[in-house]
A and B are shown apart, each in its own frame.
Chain A
């Protein structure tokens, strides 16, 4: 072909006559074949089958979904909740029987405090009950702003933000900062709301053994080696450690000073969840940072719910403005949900007032925790888990009775015994999944301790 092009047109034609016939025919066939290939339809290697209408109809007729919910067996232990009549304070009437309450998270005993109720009523008379809107659309009341500034002042941070539900607090805070591609190091014993927050954030989750700083350091070092392989990616991947101050699931405290050291060594941010330790630990009730004497600015975000010590409803996050202000636009539970009813906010403010006026109550609480801790030691068959100053302790079965169901039945029988058999006033212990947790409130009477000897008798 090149040979053709170098000649002029007249000379090219004469060359065609000169070339052998078979050569021309072959070239012609090749050109036609190329044209055909160019214009023919492409075919896929795996041909997708097309169903006829009748087949589709048959498939639709035949398909049977599963029932919406699996059938619930009748002997499901928690089909009917225990009904509490009257206020859930120190004495509680449950299923008709009056008991001493060892089950509510009423650590400072503020659930039936008259001052708190009075303030809540005053707020109710001024604002009504509901807020009828999210924070962005006329749902911000001056009470909310006051509570936020009081919390920030109490915790000695720059800013605080309030959520209307305790569960939603940490579950909305984590996804606001940690996105897909970021890395979060979490303690194995983290509570359920943290797990939901992590699931919503779509980040990489790495669990380290409960309170095991060596395991955490090992994970951090592995991550550092990964980073050195890919420094560009490492520069935009955020890293977080999420721990609880006082763990709900194990009732022990996290080693905060070591965590802060690890934070600066490996450049990881710390999120601290203080639902159980706010209003409990520390000289003034500021939580685990005060307990250990750690500078509060070292912790990037502290989140707590106001349903335990503060005896209201809702939750808050506090920290530096740089960190907290971001949640006002990207915290889902804050932007897309109605704000906290003002009477509950007013109750929380009054509870804070009480906490600030009288720091002695924290000492009293710790003393009582220590007493109960000592008394509960040494019950045969039951193991006590938790720190000495933890207000919520766990009593676990020392050895398993076979399966989880039998264990649960055993624990339930212990609870029923305390509830029904013991003479008035008797104890109530609730039954979450695997262990009994026994929670304390302020004026614990001494008589219940003697009833524990009867518990020992049961387990023999």
Chain B
């Protein structure tokens, strides 16, 4: 269901909660041990879901987040919408089963008809009946650089999205609000592209071997040293795929007898890595430090389930920016908890590296903390660096251990040389080592764009989730029909957006997601804002029925 509501303002509002939440125990122990208080039971009803931390001194600047609660009428209408669609889905399935309606679904081979069916009918109910209707909003092929503006391949469907045909035409100059291009490094001209061209000439495209064997090129070593310097850690290691970085390295770090505390809304790669490791997994509420603290205390005090042996290690897994919510992790509080309870912290900065912080060094830089406090800093190069792959940074012992025990280093091919070169050039640009101020300009432009865009949309009255500083801007749509309509209308106005529904989000919280980029100009953002406003008038206006 919906998350806690109301704006959370955490600049040190102690307000009226003065006494500690616990009565004095029998042995006279009055002091409250928890770092973060549980809210009182005798609260006023209006502030029921407010979360105030006592340690707001940990934050150097205001931490403004909002997750407005779904209005009741909207929730009811959304459920009704899904109900109607489900009924129609059953009707269509019935018609297809009795061959009244032509069935476009691919069928099993004749020779294999008596095999156990590969898919259960119900698994694909949602895909067949709901997803198919609005399928044209996803997998849109593009044929240019995914920069601030892109060219889309025009495609039409004559059978209600079951198959698509390309008309051969190209829709030019569509404003791109969907690609993860935070610093605008997705470009085919400039220093990065030239350096990548040289690397291709020198090294070729493929590598043909694993890092362990003979795939360790000198360009990989250079890139890893640069990444370590960028992050401010002792050493780092890079891998060919961001998803694989998580799913293959978490098993190398934890195993049976360890505990992983993972956020509710963690990415699929983190969940998969945690599952493959074989450790016990416990989930805490999204960005909720009280929930995390309670889990930590219970874990240490009670030990492993049933045997009550102490845990070997506790690993807290969080992300820098959560891409579906737009929220930023409460890193100062997490680090305080980690130090207090001697746990280890795994921070996945897939979206926040390069996008947050005055120097672009990610969420650690944003909060002004010491990178050595985070045990394992993981991130990807896909979003802000315009390349592909992932990295892990940390102490030298950690990286040496991973070089020998990471599944990726031993069994998977190393990164392609031009991609590695792109990372090197873009990182040097961000750090300012190429001699220009291009990096600093882009960082400033991104934060200005983010603030401007969020403010404008909020002023228009839209429900925007997430932290005020995050370049990921989710705008709530709620109703299933609006998902399809919004995506299509925006495309008609030459703007490409991303709409997300179930199962990536809870069923009634469908949203449109905008990714602000440093490459966007103010005019583009104004155009987008104008288009969204026009759409809203079209949908919400009582005249159009």
Residues of A within 8 A of B (CB): 51-54, 56-57, 59-60, 63-66, 68-72, 76, 78-79, 81-89, 92, 94, 101, 103-106, 110-112, 116-117, 120-121, 124-133, 135-142, 144-145, 164-168, 177, 191-193, 196, 199-200, 234-239, 264, 267, 269, 297, 305, 307-308, 310-313, 320-323, 325-326, 328-329, 332-333, 335-338, 340-341, 343-344, 347, 428, 430-432
Contact = CB atoms under 8 A, between A and B. Distances in A.
A64 B342 contact: yes
B244 A430 contact: no
A142 B179 contact: no
A166 B413 contact: yes
Contacts of A116: 204-205
B276 A199 contact: yes
Given A87-B202, A142-B141, A238-B116, A63 B221 contact: no
B434 interface: no
Interface of B: 22, 25-27, 29, 33, 106-109, 111-112, 114-120, 127, 131, 138-147, 150, 153, 176, 178-181, 185-188, 192-193, 196-197, 200-209, 211-218, 221, 240-244, 247-248, 253, 267-269, 272, 275-276, 297, 300-301, 310-314, 341-344, 375-376, 380-383, 385-388, 397-398, 400-404, 407-408, 410-413, 416, 418-419, 422, 496, 498
Q: Which of A145, A328, A336 has the most CB atoms of chain B within a 10 A radius of its CB?
A: A336
Looking at chain B's contact residues, the main secondary structure is loop
Given A84-B217, A139-B179, A311 B205 contact: yes
A127 B188 CA distance: 6
A432 B138 CA distance: 42
B188 A126 contact: yes
Contacts of B116: 234-239, 267
B208 A307 contact: yes
Contact of B179 (A133, A196, A326): A133
B141 A60 contact: no
A323 B186 contact: no
Nearest to B415: A313
A377 to B, nearest CB: 24
B167 to A, nearest CB: 13
A86 B196 CA distance: 15
Given A52-B25, A59-B301, A66-B313, 7 more contacts: A68-B375, A84-B214, A104-B208, A124-B193, A129-B418, A140-B142, A307-B413
Contacts of A141: 141-143
Contacts of B215: 84, 88, 104
A137 B498 contact: yes
A341 B388 contact: yes
A125 B188 contact: yes
A365 to B, nearest CB: 15
A264 B111 CA distance: 9
Pick the most buried of B150, B212, B244, B301: most chain A CB atoms within 10 A of its CB. Answer: B244
A79 B405 CA distance: 10
Q: Which of B179, B185, B213 has the most CB of A within 10 A?
A: B213
A89 B201 CA distance: 13
A133 B401 contact: no
B416 A69 contact: no
Q: Which 8 A-B pairs have the closest CB atoms?
A: A165-B241, A167-B412, A69-B401, A337-B243, A104-B208, A81-B216, A430-B213, A322-B106
A410 B143 CA distance: 53
Contacts of A65: 311-314, 342-344
Nearest to A104: B208
Nearest to B187: A128
A52 B27 contact: yes
Given A60-B341, A78-B404, A138-B179, A338 B186 contact: no
B386 A132 contact: yes
A313 B388 CA distance: 11
Contacts of B217: 83-85, 88
Contacts of A72: 397, 400-401, 404
7 contacts: A52-B26, A78-B212, A117-B204, A142-B143, A145-B141, A235-B116, A326-B118
A76 B382 CA distance: 33
A432 B214 CA distance: 11
Contact of B214 (A82, A165, A199, A333): A82
A149 to B, nearest CB: 11
A330 to B, nearest CB: 9
Contacts of B201: 117, 121
Q: Interface centre among B209, B215, B248, B310, by most A CB within 10 Å?
A: B209
Contacts, number: 343
Contacts of B313: 65-66, 68
A337 B242 contact: yes
A238 B397 CA distance: 44
Given A60-B301, A320-B109, A428-B214, A336 B267 contact: yes
B254 to A, nearest CB: 9
A136 B138 contact: yes
B203 A87 contact: yes
Contact of B139 (A51, A106, A136): A136
B209 A130 contact: no
Contacts of A88: 203-204, 207-209, 214-215, 217
A48 to B, nearest CB: 10
A166 B412 contact: yes
B373 to A, nearest CB: 13
Contacts of A139: 146, 179
Contacts of A144: 141
Nearest to A113: B204
A310 to B, nearest CB: 8
B418 A308 contact: no
Contact of A192 (B111, B214, B242, B411): B411
Nearest to B398: A69
Given A65-B342, A129-B193, A338-B242, A89 B419 contact: no
B193 A125 contact: yes
B25 A53 contact: yes
A455 to B, nearest CB: 19
B204 A138 contact: no
B197 A129 contact: no
B403 A138 contact: no
B209 A168 contact: no
Contact of B241 (A66, A269, A337): A337
A69 B297 contact: no
Contacts of A193: 411-412
B142 A138 contact: yes
B419 A341 contact: yes
B142 to A, nearest CB: 6
A130 B267 contact: no
Contacts of B412: 165-167, 193
Contacts of A326: 118-119
B204 A87 contact: yes
Given A69-B253, A132-B186, A105 B209 contact: yes
B150 to A, nearest CB: 7
B386 A321 contact: no
A76 B397 CA distance: 13
Which residue among A87, A144, A264 has the maximum number of chain B CB atoms within 10 Å of its CB?
A87
A144 to B, nearest CB: 8
Contacts of A51: 301
A170 B197 CA distance: 31
Interface centre among B29, B108, B116, B342 (most CB of A within 10 A): B116
B503 to A, nearest CB: 10
B198 to A, nearest CB: 10
A243 B366 CA distance: 49
Given A65-B343, A69-B401, A165-B240, A196 B276 contact: yes
A168 B141 contact: no
Contact of A133 (B29, B146, B402, B407): B146
A407 to B, nearest CB: 17
Nearest to A74: B400
Contacts of A71: 397
A71 B200 CA distance: 38
A68 B344 contact: yes
